[in-house]
Amino acid sequence: MKTITISKRTKSINDLLKQARKENIILRTSDGSEFILAEIDDFDREIELTRQNRELMKLLDLRAKQTETLSLSETKALLGLNKS
């Protein structure tokens, strides 16, 4: 991970950082790429809370053990998305 120091003169970035102090922000570029801007302490806390969510961790463990996959056409058929 690389650390970049933000100058006080960079108003738009500092405005984003000010917002991120209040709540996490998703930054979306024009090409659809997404990035999260979060205060590190808050993000660490969010990870900690997520790891304490037993139901989510159980689901992730089950999904990680799955070896069987479906093709796109099989998935479309299951969801009734095949064109007639």
**Average pLDDT for residues 8-18, to the nearest whole number?**
88
Query: What is the reported pTM?
Result: 0.43
| Main-chain phi, psi angles of 30, to 5 degrees | -65, -25
**Average pLDDT for residues 21-45, to the nearest whole number?**
86
Burial class (CB in 10 A: 0-12, 13-18, 19+), 37: middle
Provide the β-strand partners of residue 27: 35
The whole-number pLDDT of residue 58 equals 95
**Average pLDDT for residues 27-40, to the nearest whole number?**
88
Distance CA 84, CA 49 (A): 46
**Average pLDDT for residues 11-16, to the nearest whole number?**
89
| DSSP reduced 3-state for 28 | strand
Structure tokens at 26: 């998703």
Q: What is the pLDDT of residues 41-84, one digit of tens each?
A: 777 778 888 888 999 999 999 999 989 888 999 999 999 998 75
